A and B are shown apart, each in its own frame.
Chain A
Amino acid sequence: MTRPAFKPGPLVWVALFVLAALLPLLQPGGFVLDVAINVMIWSMLAYGLNVMLGYTGQLPLAHAGFFGIGAYAVGILTLREGWNFWLAWPAAVALCALGGLLLGLVAFRTRGDAFSIFTLGVGVIIALVINKWDDLTGGNDGLNGVPPASSLLGIDFSKSANFYYVALAALALTVLVVARTRQSVFGRSLVAIRGGEDLARSAGIDVFSHKLRALMLSTAIAGLAGGVYAAYVGFLGSAVTGPTTTFTVLLYLLVGGVGTLAGPLLGTGLIYVALQFMKGLQDYQYIVFGPLLVLLVLFAPQGLAGLWNRAQMRRASARTERAVDHA
């Protein structure tokens, strides 16, 4: 048998990130850098969601909320409390992991669709709290003037071209963390849960504890993405923390390929860039995306990365057949 899954080897990933690191040297326009940084931020959130949906088989719908908690934590700590970004950012990640723990302790009393709906409710509540808690979050007016990441080792991260590397490093860390998780004893247990909770239980897996830890990792990654977002955009509004964001990122993930390592980046890159060219359509863009999504779910449930897989497997089996013929 050949490798059954779309796995660009570690070398391909290293090459990809080296190439991406060269981008600012070409001195591209601000627009290109802005798109690239946004793609990295949102694909990180998609990676976080993928830990749950793709590897553990659970669909939480509160991720934009955790993205928001991460972003507002960085925003509030740096703007109001005067913290250094490099302290506020890890604090935000830890806060989101803790939030994931608290959510999981309650939410994992439900299963399947009920879990999704429960977490959707929690997502709405987080967005509402952020919107209404004027003293802390600035409420409807948002949080204006979040300072850019402070200089580190003499590098001024207030320049987009430099901040680009912060986002790139965070994305690289995310991909590494997710890849290692999947390829581990722990990760195999998550895949076992995805394959069937009852079976995983009877196989001796502590399903609750594994789901809890997966959710914490997942929300921590959402917080990591939120922290980058806060320092990059400089303005935080509550709208971005609502379910619309969750579903947009879910769309990225579905298009790219649920449960694949390349999928989140692929899907986010493709759709985000496509949307930039359809800005003129405004809300009508969903008329294009809706049917596309339906077709995709029908014919390529594993997304683009899954399509690639199937092509690979077909080629591999054709090769095996030829080899058998020759034998």
Chain B
Amino acid sequence: MPESILEVEGLGIRFGGLHAVRDVTAQLPAGKITAIIGPNGAGKSTFFNLISGFYAPTSGRIRFQGEDITRLKTHQVVGRGIARTFQTTTIYRELSVLEGVMIGHRVRTRAGLWDALLRTGRERREEAESREAALRALERVGLAAQAHRPAGALTQEGQKRVGIAMALASDPRLLLLDEPAAGMNPEETVNLMGLIRELVGGGLTVALVEHKMSLVMGLADEILVLHHGQKIAQGTPGEVSRDPAVIEAYLGGHAHGGQMGQPGREGAHA
């Protein structure tokens, strides 16, 4: 077992009577790509929301780099080094690409209202730092040339990259991508996979929720399978695609489609 960057233990959350995530114990290996898959409603996004502090779990613990972050608020979690993107292209469309990405660096700055009003040294220094961090992040996702365009004017793929750049601007150790390839054509998806590999090559750990099996099988070092909020398998793509419980979850009962272990074919929900 390689060293893990994040460990969850007995993690669960209940909305009323519904166990959206239930008793999940898992590790994300450091410096690797972990894909979280499962049929619709399996609790994948909820799992992300728990890790990123969006929801407070009703049971279990989350440890990040050895530190218990279970009860931390979202901005504190981001401060510890976990950044995320959203399912849809949720970015600041009306701002320029650069300014939107600069927002991602806010967590590394401390300038407040008095700094703004008095134009303190800290204000000017942190403004310059934010700009540099944002430009670096845009460089990493290949959007440096578009920095001054309104974010909403970019293509779907461009907007996804802006979202990733915004997450990168917070200088994370772990990046959570929620359906990064949703709404992308095959070519764009391949580009995105290249980008994710580059980021991981630079030392980042990535966890992603994705329906597109081509992306999952082509990219993931490790796959975590959720079903009805519970973990039913974790392992390499090869192991997971042969796992009877996984095959049952995907094919059994309702025909969810999205066959496992067959790169090139799209999941039914993509």
Check A204 against B117 for contact (C-beta < 8 Å): no
Q: How far is the CB of B195 from chain A (nearest CB, A)?
A: 19
Contacting B at CB under 8 A, from A168-210, are 177, 180-181, 183-189, 191-192, 195-196, 198-207
The answer to whether A199 and B113 have CB atoms under 8 Å apart is no
Are A203 and B86 interface neighbours, CB within 8 A? no
Q: Is A154 an interface residue (CB 8 A)?
A: no
State whether A1 touches B148 (Cβ < 8 A).
yes
A189 surroundings in chain B (CB, below 8 A): 103, 106
Say whether B111 contacts A204, CB under 8 Å: no
Inter-subunit contact B84/A202 (CB<8 Å)? yes
Q: Mark B107-118, 1 if CB is under 8 A from A, else 0.
A: 101011101110
- B92 close to A195 (CB less than 8 A): yes
Whether B112 pairs with A186 at a CB distance below 8 angstroms is yes
B170 near A203 with CB under 8 A, answer yes
Q: How far is the CA of A184 from the CA of B111 in the complex (A)?
A: 9
Contacts of B119 in A (CB 8 A): 180
Interface centre among A4, A196, A202 (most CB of B within 10 A): A202
Collect the chain B residues with CB atoms within 8 Å of residue A177's CB.
Answer: 117
Q: Name the residue of chain B whose CB is nearest to the CB of A193.
A: B103
Residues from chain B with a CB closer than 8 A to the CB of A185 are 106, 109, 111, 115-116, 123, 126-127, 130
Q: Beta-carbon contacts of B90-126 to A below 8 Å, as 1s and 0s? A: 1110111001001110110101110111010001001
Q: For residue A181, which residue of chain B has the nearest CB?
A: B116
Report if A180-B130 is in contact (Cβ < 8 Å); known contacts: A189-B106, A206-B73, A213-B112.
no
Task: Verify if B70 is at the interface (C-beta below 8 Å from A).
Answer: no
In the complex formed, the residue of A with least CB distance to B94 is A195
**Stretch in contact with the other chain, from B36-44, B75-83, B240-248:** B75-83
Q: State which size class the interface on A falls in.
A: 20 to 34
User: For residue A1, which residues in chain B have a CB less than 8 angstroms away from its CB?
Assistant: 96, 148-150
Q: How far is the CB of B146 from chain A (nearest CB, A)?
A: 10
* C-alpha spacing A290/B90, complex, angstroms: 36
The reply to whether A203 and B117 contact each other, CB–CB distance below 8 Å, is no
Asked if A217 is an interface residue, CB under 8 A from chain B, the answer is: yes
Q: From the candidates A186, A199, A204, name the one contacting B115 in the complex (CB within 8 A).
A: A186
Complex Cα distance A191/B99, Å? 10
Q: Is B250 among interface residues, defined by CB-CB distance under 8 A?
A: no
* Interchain CB contact under 8 A, A181 and B113: yes
A204 and B86 alpha carbons, distance in the complex (Å):
14
CA A204 – CA B102 in complex, angstroms? 11
Contacts A1-B149, A192-B92 given: A203-B166 contact, CB under 8 Å?
yes
Given contacts A181-B116, A186-B112, A195-B94, A204 and B148 within 8 Å (CB-CB): no
Determine the distance from Cα of A181 to Cα of B114 in the docked complex, in whole angstroms: 9
Least CB separation from B53: chain A residue: A201
Known: A199-B92, A203-B166, A213-B112. A181 touches B117 (CB 8 A): yes
A199–B117 contact, CB under 8 A? no
Listed residue (B78, B92, B102, B103) with the most chain A CB atoms within 10 angstroms of its CB: B103
B149 touches A204 (CB 8 A): no
Assess whether B54 is in contact with A202, with CB atoms less than 8 Å apart: yes
Do A204 and B106 have beta carbons less than 8 Å apart?
Answer: yes
A202 touches B74 (CB 8 A): yes
| Inter-subunit contact A188/B103 (CB<8 Å) | yes
Q: With A181-B117, A188-B106, A199-B86 in contact, do A206 and B94 touch (Cβ < 8 Å)?
A: no
Cβ-based interface call for B159 (8 A): no
In the bound complex, CA of A178 to CA of B192 (Å): 41
Question: Closest CB-CB distance, A257 to chain B, in whole Å?
Answer: 15
Asked if B102 and A184 make an inter-chain contact with CB atoms under 8 angstroms apart, the answer reads no
Let me know if A217 and B113 touch, CB within 8 A: yes
Chain B contacts for A207, CB-based, 8 A: 75
- Assess whether B214 is interfacial by the CB under 8 Å rule: no
Give the nearest-CB partner of B130 in chain A: A185
Contacts of B91 in A (CB 8 A): 199
Report B126 CB to chain A, min CB distance, Å. Answer: 5
Chain B: minimal CB distance from A319 (Å): 17
Complexed CA–CA distance, A114 and B86 (Å): 25
A204 to B176, CA, bound (A): 14
Q: Contact at A204–B170, with CB atoms within 8 Å?
A: yes
**B64 → chain A closest CB, angstroms:** 14
Is B234's beta carbon under 8 Å from chain A? Answer: no
Known: A201-B74, A203-B103, A205-B103. 6 other contacts (CB 8 A): A1-B148, A186-B113, A201-B54, A202-B86, A205-B75, A213-B113
Those 3 A-B pairs whose CB atoms lie nearest each other, nearest first? A204-B107, A204-B78, A184-B116
Q: Which A residues have a C-beta under 8 Å from some C-beta of B?
A: 1, 4, 177, 180-181, 183-189, 191-192, 195-196, 198-207, 213, 217
Could you list 18 examples of A-B contacts with CB < 8 Å? Answer: A180-B119, A181-B113, A181-B116, A184-B123, A185-B127, A185-B130, A186-B111, A187-B116, A188-B99, A188-B130, A196-B90, A198-B86, A199-B91, A202-B54, A204-B74, A204-B78, A206-B75, A213-B113
Q: Which residues of B contact A (CB under 8 A)?
A: 52, 54, 73-75, 78-79, 83-84, 86, 90-92, 94-96, 99, 102-104, 106-107, 109, 111-113, 115-117, 119, 123, 126-127, 130, 148-150, 166-167, 170
